[in-house]
Amino acid sequence: MELTVLCASFVLFLVLGVPVAFAIGLSCLATYAVEGLPLATAIQMMVSGMNVFSFLAIPFFIFSGELMLHGGIADKIMDFARSLVGHWKGGLGLANVMASTLFGGVSGSPVADTSAMGGVMIPIMKREGYSADYAVNVTTHASLTGALMPTSHNMIIYAFAAQAASGVIDGHTIKGVSIGDLMFAGLVPVFWIMVCMLVAAYWQAARNGFPKRADGRSLIERFPGWPAVLRRFVAALPGLAVVGVILGCVMGGVTTATEAAAIAVAYSLALTTLVYRTMSREKLVKALGKASRTTGVILLLIGVSNMLRWQMAYLEIPDTIEAALLHATRQPWLMLLYINIIQIVLGIFLDMAAHILITTPLFLPLAIQMGVGPVQFGMMLLLNCALGLVHPPVGTVQFVGCAIGEISIGQATKTAWPYYLAIWVAINLVTYVAVFSTWLPSLITGHPVF
């Protein structure tokens, strides 16, 4: 009865258009009431879920990304990427992939990445002979790499959700997950995502003859020369260095992830005000406001999701799901395939933060049984969640890209399949080849990371 109330009320609230955070909270309160539990327990779970010191990294990472977004860093990165590959067939599309990947490392947010790079690149690509749907799809799908970058606040959320994970893999005891390991783990998958996206963007450009003029003639830029490439790289380097600053702080062991995020804010502020001098008072206020709103939404999601986690544990939902999947198969590769498919379906309906908080306690214990550690599973989960950002009805990133490109979601979706395929290939690489996620953090820390 209680499980029916929880699921039915949550689905009903979503259908009615209630925001995900409120839908989770209201469905939990309804279930508490049916069970006869004191509502004070629900509030206690909500407050305790948000009252975690490491969550201070979330507003810092978000604010750092907003400073970079409004400080003109995207223009420098775009100029460098365009000078490097803009002279190839489909060059602006390839430059877009590279620039979006690089700026994803700076912002740590697929939405901010799409807003910044899309606002610059999509109008240019449309003007230079690329279709609107091509420009939008290249931008939105390449920006998903921001979810796996060291500046991503979603890694902090996952680390919190996975803190209770435990088990044994290859004789090594697993207990929780290190945020530092996650930061290093994302770098290799991001590289291969970029490679897959470059292949998809090049193939589609070659197939459609992009770029081309209105009369059908090809239009390809001239290579500006290596000195120009070097100059533009030097101009973009201070912005790209924020990733190195964060990783250097964490690798040095002198700071926590929260302190590293605070240093990133100080660096971003100094860079945009003193070096580039692109940060005005109006832009700073706008960045502060956007970071505050985003932080508020995320912390509310964390609080209500903690209520939901407690409720699921009370109703033994994770045990039920685990038993059902183990009954379906005990083959590790097939089990991981089922988990990926379920994650992709859930990503269509759930926002990324809610998706991470709800599904991590459901599937991570099962993944550990299959020999997949919390670091590798984190990369799987973040990629699956990111893919949901380009799927309607929740596809926030795709909505932003389509608004910039002035096309409908349906028009963009019709030609998006090469990019879905590219991301799916990347998901499977991370799922079935553990070294993609674990090699670099194991090398940095000097001990096995799972």
Q: Is the pLDDT of residue 113 over 80?
A: yes
Give me the phi and psi of 349, to 5 degrees please.
-110, -20
pLDDT digits (tens, 9 = 90+) for 169-188: 887 888 888 888 998 999 99
Q: Is the pLDDT of residue 324 over 90?
A: no
Q: Could you tell me the pLDDT band of residue 136, with boundaries at 50, 70 and 90? A: very high
CB atoms within 10 A of CB 312: 20
Question: Do the beta carbons of residue 154 and residue 55 sit within 8 Å?
Answer: no
d(CA 75, CA 220) in angstroms, rounded, equals 21
Q: Is the pLDDT of residue 245 over 90?
A: no
CB atoms within 10 A of CB 157: 26
d(CA 346, CA 352) in angstroms, rounded, equals 10
d(CA 344, CA 361) in angstroms, rounded, equals 17
Nearest to 133 by CA among 390, 388, 387: 390
Distances (CA, A) of 174 to 178, 250, 365, 366, 369: 11, 21, 11, 13, 11
Of the ranges 33-37, 151-155, 395-399, the best mean pLDDT one: 151-155
Question: Do the beta carbons of residue 102 and residue 91 sit within 8 Å?
Answer: no
Please report which residue ranges of 255-349 form alpha helices under DSSP H. Answer: 257-270, 281-314, 317-328, 332-347
Distances (CA, A) of 303 to 78, 399, 415: 38, 27, 38
Question: Do the beta carbons of residue 347 and residue 355 sit within 8 Å?
Answer: yes
Q: Could you tell me the pLDDT band of residue 33, with boundaries at 50, 70 and 90? A: confident
State the chain's mean pLDDT as an integer.
Answer: 85
Q: Is the pLDDT of residue 215 over 60?
A: no
Give the pLDDT mean for 68-80: 82
d(CA 165, CA 163) in angstroms, rounded, equals 6
Question: Do the beta carbons of residue 102 and residue 232 sit within 8 Å?
Answer: no
pLDDT digits (tens, 9 = 90+) for 336-371: 999 999 998 888 777 788 889 888 988 998 899 888
Q: Is the pLDDT of residue 314 over 60?
A: yes
Distances (CA, A) of 40 to 10, 28, 52, 186: 20, 12, 19, 39
pLDDT digits (tens, 9 = 90+) for 379-434: 999 999 998 888 776 678 888 888 888 888 888 888 899 999 999 999 999 999 99
> Sign of torsion, CA 101 102 108 112?
negative
Q: Is the pLDDT of residue 271 over 60?
A: yes
Q: Could you tell me the pLDDT band of residue 253, with boundaries at 50, 70 and 90? A: low
> Sign of torsion, CA 42 43 44 45?
positive
- Residues with Cβ within 8 Å of residue 417, at least 6 apart in sequence: none
Nearest to 406 by CA among 67, 59, 191, 118: 118
Q: Is the pLDDT of residue 219 over 70?
A: no
Q: Could you tell me the pLDDT band of residue 10, with boundaries at 50, 70 and 90? A: confident
Q: Which residue has the tokens 């380097």?
A: 237
